[in-house]
Amino acid sequence: MTTLTALKRADVPEQAKWNSESLFAGWDEWQAEFEAVSAKLSSNSDFEGTLTDSPDRLLEWFEFHEEMLKRLYHLSLYASTSFDVDTDDAEAQAKNGQIGSLWGQESALSAFAVPEMQDNIDTILQWVAQDERLANFAHYVDNLQRIKKHTRSAEVEEVLGMLSDPFSSVWSTVGMLADSDLKFKPAVDSQGIEHLVIQSSMPTKDADREQRRTTWQNFSDGYLSYINTFASNYVTSVKQAVFWARVRNYDSVLHSRLAPYNVPVEVFHNLMDTFAANLPVWHRYWGVKAKAINVDKLRPWDFGAPNTPDAPKVTFEQSVDWICHGMQPLGDDYVNVMRRGCLEDRWVDYAPNEAKGQGAHSSYAVDCMPFIVMSFDDRLEGMSTLAHELGHSMHGYYMDLHQPLIYNFDISMTVAETASNFNQAMTRAYLMEHGPQDRDFQLALVQEAMTNFHRYFFIMPTLARFELEVFQRAEAGQPLNADILNGIMLDLYAEGYGDTLEDDPERTGTTWAQFLHLYAPFYTFQYAIGISVANALSRDIFTGQNPDQYLAFLQAGSSKYPMELFDMVGIDMSTPEPIAKAYAVMEGIIDHFEHLVS
């Protein structure tokens, strides 16, 4: 049994902290840069009305705008990551507010540019075709032409830009509520010993079932105690998304999230339909899981129960080594950069500590290192999370090397989550074939795999179905409150669980409140698209087939539309086929699991 003891932030070893000094030496240097950027933002107005004077002037604008975005990003990255690793850091919290305001200023001051270019799109298209200095911006300009009907006048765009800061309060509110204000009762194991429950822990992975139960229930009860506040905040976010969709003339919030990337809504509905059709696969898995952990029927706190009491303990360094071996088919450059980033350059802030934010995430590399914030533990699942985030990091690394900044900032999450899930699939394939073959290791590896699939191929599609129902009600002017949200969530979980699992309905109904992903509408389903493409690709690439195509996919950033990027690696996401292939991979793992249990 592993008991999580969270360190004080001051006690975290240096090698387990992110390399913050590579961005700024401290808050004094950060503040000086903040003031310099703030002063320079006013220069946006110098370009207004001049973008189509000449190709030279247009190029000057692109270069100026990219410089401002890069410097703002560095300020944001330092402030947000400082806060994520220690949400009790009042200075980091304050700086986050400052930089949010500055982003709002930038949005408002540069709002003239897109309408101005769209009004003169034929001239700009001609320049892009004739002037090689502008050739890199061809896709960007093509997209401007495509989305013109969703862009408002310069005056309206300026107002919308000014709204970005006050509208961001729902993000900051839920972050503060979940990561700082929300406290959980300690879990109690079968011996009566108390165990700490915090956001950055993995709450239901312990061998002691009583500890799992009290951890899961106390974690859920923490959200129940603030459920009306969470609901009010989330409903405000939903109304904001409906506002944005309508003000930009989209048919729905779903369209507003996919159309900017030229992704057809059929991709979403294919996933939802395929997910619903494959729920019996999950019911079968839970039956095997119940046998593996020797219970009559699974409960919600049993998902992470160890498949074996003798699961291997894995260090951070061993995890890095296995991930590097798994990614070797992509070549020495990929592997060496990734290994150095983890072990020498301190990309990863990995130690669990008190007041560390929930979940794990990676920043992109924008003329800087990518940085990962996570809470690593000594299980294969910790290795898997690291592999996932390193997929994002390496994606950002290659984009930064090969693309102008304009194709690095706004990448579709369907593409981004392919890169992250791909690393997990490749590492798993390596360990299945070349890792320890003893039963305990293989049972633990099955658990890593199914933890990954459960999160991205069960929870995320379920949350996406929840979002579709919520937004359809909001768009129709129907009421939404905590009871309604909990009811929608509970009905979807009841369908998903079927008769194979005994639920705890009141607490399960709060699941929506536990995922900050919902504050980016329809972000959730893109995880499932990513895991589909990743598993469809990984088996071939692991055996050495077409690694260069995948590297080109990473290097392209958002310089092509997502459907074109998938086409580069031979994936047609307009059909359910890649999703069905991922379910076939999952069923193969369940077959292996059933054999091991029998």
Q: Domain residue spans in the chain?
A: 9-167
Yes or no: say if 556 and 403 are a contact pair by the CB < 8 Å rule.
Answer: yes
CA–CA gap between residue 392 and residue 348 (Å, rounded): 12
Coil vs helix vs strand at 572 = coil
pLDDT in tens, the chain (598 residues): 344 457 899 999 999 999 999 999 999 999 999 999 999 998 988 999 999 999 999 999 999 999 999 999 999 999 999 999 998 899 998 998 889 889 888 988 898 999 999 999 999 999 999 999 999 999 999 999 998 888 888 788 888 888 878 888 888 888 888 887 899 999 999 999 999 888 755 557 788 999 999 999 999 999 999 999 999 999 999 999 999 999 999 999 999 999 999 999 999 999 999 999 999 999 999 999 999 999 999 999 999 899 999 989 999 999 999 999 999 999 999 999 999 999 999 999 999 998 888 789 999 899 999 999 999 988 899 999 999 999 999 999 999 999 999 898 788 889 999 999 999 999 999 999 999 999 999 999 999 999 999 999 999 999 999 999 999 999 999 999 999 999 999 999 999 998 888 999 999 999 999 999 999 999 999 999 999 999 988 878 888 788 999 999 999 999 999 999 999 999 999 999 999 989 999 999 999 999 999 8
- Show the CA angle centred on residue 433, arms to residues 427 and 438, nearest 5°: 105
Task: Say what the pLDDT of residue 377 is.
Answer: 86
Q: Whole-angstrom Cα distance, residue 444 to residue 446? A: 5
Q: Quote the CATH superfamily of domain 9-167.
A: Oligopeptidase f, N-terminal domain (1.20.140.70)
E strand or H helix at 145: helix 138-146
φ, ψ at 195 (rounded to 5°):
-135, 140
- Rounded Cα–Cα distance for residues 387 and 397 (Å): 15
Separation CA 396–CA 282 (nearest Å): 33
Q: Percentages helix, strand, coil for the chain, rounded to the nearest 5? A: 70, 0, 30
CA distances from 546 to 49, 483, 536 (A): 47, 51, 13
Q: For position 2, what pLDDT does the model report?
A: 41
Cα angle, residue 87 at apex, residues 165 and 377 outer, rounded to 5°: 125
Decide: 213 and 219 in contact? Cβ < 8 Å: no
The single residue listed with the structure tokens 């795999």 is 449
What H or E segment, with its residue span, contains residue 497? helix 482-497
Predicted pLDDT of residue 203: 58
Cβ atoms within 10 Å, residue 516: 17
Residue 1 confidence (pLDDT): 36
8 Å CB contact between 204 and 215: yes
HSE, side-chain direction, 13 A CA sphere, residue 63: 8
* Local structure of residue 502 (DSSP, 8 states): -
Sequence-ordered list of residues with C-beta below 8 angstroms from that of 319, at least 6 positions apart, any chain: 376, 382, 383, 386, 387
Which pLDDT score, from 0 to 100, does residue 100 have?
85
Q: What is the predicted pLDDT for the residue at 97?
A: 84
Report the alpha-carbon angle 538-362-543, nearest 5.
15
Q: In this predicted structure, what is the pLDDT of residue 408?
A: 86
pLDDT at 157: 82
Q: What pLDDT is stored for residue 202 in this prediction?
A: 54
